DNA sequence: TCGCGGTACGACCGAATTAGTCTTATATCT
DNA sequence: AGATATAAGACTAATTCGGTCGTACCGCGA
């Protein structure tokens, strides 16, 4: 339906973990995975995708691991999610293989596109540092109805 | 990832179609399905779910069909989507069968809950009449970071 | 220099979800 | 009565997702 994939979820956990252990040692996939009870293999895959998008940087070799590549305030939830699951598109209009058959007649396409924009803007408003803070100042997001 | 289910998509199409043919005849599932090139059976199922949530009302018998049960301005996208796919929850924390194993250690649960709230608020801000209008006045949605 | 502890990457499998179909029952108009 | 609808649930097919494995590569330190 409308759910974050578990991989993206794990990605956010990992990035937040790295943000918290900033300036300390580089965290290995195993370390993070064990901390939250997630399969090491899976966490490794997630971190690899994040590394490919330059959200985290990897350090090979013994006592290696991952480090945040940017400031926590410069990493948005959208960055993490789309790094792992690809672009966020709420409709199937233009997807991987073949677009929707109803596309030409469809009358909700354009309205939904605007809803999609709004969700994108929500997701790109909240950053990792937002997710670490305690105080929660409301922010206004513009929504094109 | 983060996609609307096709059924929900079809639901929005159907509701918008009914909104456009308001005060005319009741539209049958077949009529709507053929208009947009969707399977009749599937469209029927979607409309049944909408009827169960009293978003549309059904008229049995020959020359029967479906009618909008409320004003288009009183039907939100969230209404339609959750009528078809169930409650909108971006995380798997509390879902159908068994919650997430990382739940106790998880540090992104609360932030994501707030993101979820924001998405809910976006979805409940846009109504069917919004989706039919041409002009698109921006609306501000409050987002708890 | 060799081995251990780590990342990189893609192929792979099984489980879960989703899309779509069929069948039977029921209601209502003509 | 007969035609045309909805109602509902069981069922199957298609697709996605979660998770695993194997193998290659990298680099530090004993
Ligand atoms: S075209 Fe209309 S129906 Fe097809 S995916 Fe886009 S919005 Fe949904
Ligand atoms: S608990 Fe944390 S990890 Fe588990 S689903 Fe909720 S947010 Fe995702």
pLDDT score for A133: 80
Position A43 confidence tier, pLDDT thresholds 50, 70, 90? very high
Domain spans of chain A?
6-132
Count of Cβ atoms closer than 10 Å to residue A96 Cβ: 7
Q: Residue B35 pLDDT more than 80?
A: yes
Residues 14-73 of A with CB under 7 A from strand D: 39, 41-42, 45, 60-64
Q: What does the block give as tokens for B91? A: 């995380």
pLDDT score for B116: 93
CATH topology of domain A6-132: Arc Repressor Mutant, subunit A (1.10.10)
Number of residues that make up chain B: 145
Residues 20-79 of A with CB under 7 A from strand C: 28-30, 44-45, 47-48, 51-52, 58-66
Contacts of B82 (CB under 8 A, 6+ apart): B88
Q: What does the block give as tokens for A104? A: 């030409």
| pTM for the structure as a whole | 0.92
Instruction: Please name the residues between 100 and 129 in chain B that touch chain A, using a CB distance below 8 Å.
Output: 100-102, 105-108, 111-112, 114-115, 118-119, 122-123, 125-126
Using a 6 Å cutoff on CB, does residue A119 contact ligand 1? no
CA distance B28 to B67: 9
Position A97 confidence tier, pLDDT thresholds 50, 70, 90? very low
Q: Residue B72 pLDDT more than 60?
A: yes
What does the angle CA A116 – CA A5 – CA A28 come to, to the nearest 5 degrees? 125
Distance of alpha carbon B18 from its chain centroid, rounded? 14
């Amino acid at each position: 339906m409308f759910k974050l994939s578990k991989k993206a979820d794990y990605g956010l956990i990992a990035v937040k973990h790295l943000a918290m252990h900033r300036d300390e040692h580089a965290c290995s996939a195993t370390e993070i995975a064990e901390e939250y009870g997630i399969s090491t293999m899976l966490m490794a895959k997630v971190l690899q995708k994040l590394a490919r998008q330059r959200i985290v940087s990897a350090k090979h070799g013994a006592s290696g691991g991952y480090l945040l590549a940017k400031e926590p305030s410069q990493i948005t939830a959208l960055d993490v999610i789309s790094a792992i699951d690809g672009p966020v598109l709420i409709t199937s209009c233009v997807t991987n293989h073949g677009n929707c058959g109803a596309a030409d007649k469809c009358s909700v396409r354009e309205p939904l596109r605007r809803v999609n924009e709004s969700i994108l803007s929500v997701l790109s408003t909240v950053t990792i540092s937002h997710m670490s803070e305690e105080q929660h100042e409301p922010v206004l997001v513009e929504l094109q109805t």
